[in-house]
Amino acid sequence: MGVNLTYIGLALALIGPGAAALLSRALASEPETLAPRSISLLIFAALVAAVGAIAVRGERLRLAEIGFRSCGLMLILAHIFTDFWGIVIVR
């Protein structure tokens, strides 16, 4: 069963974002509205959750092994700093 989950996880991780983007584009309306974008974001979040669940439950990996780690003060400050400069540059 573990090998099948590995292949399913790989397929979701490699093909899923592209499929979600195509679906997002198909759902898009003119002018842009919140509903189609919300659905697209929920689909992508579900995709990330599914791949994470397969990695944690099926592959028995720890969260730290798949890229999730505790959030320290320096990481929060780094995000605030980069977000601030991103906003300043865009304006």
In tens digits, the chain (91 residues) has pLDDT values of: 557 888 999 999 999 999 988 988 888 877 878 888 888 889 989 998 999 899 998 889 888 888 877 778 888 888 888 877 666 666 5
At 50 the pLDDT is: 93
C-alpha 91/C-alpha 84 separation (Å) is: 11
Distance CA 56, CA 59 (A): 6
Domain that holds residue 7: 2-90
Residue 11 pLDDT:
92
Helix 2-27 × helix 34-53 angle, to 10°: 170
Whole-number pLDDT of residue 16: 92
pTM: 0.67
Give me the pLDDT at residue 14, please.
Answer: 94
Q: Which two tokens stand for residue 76?
A: 């929060």
Q: How many domains does the chain have?
A: 1
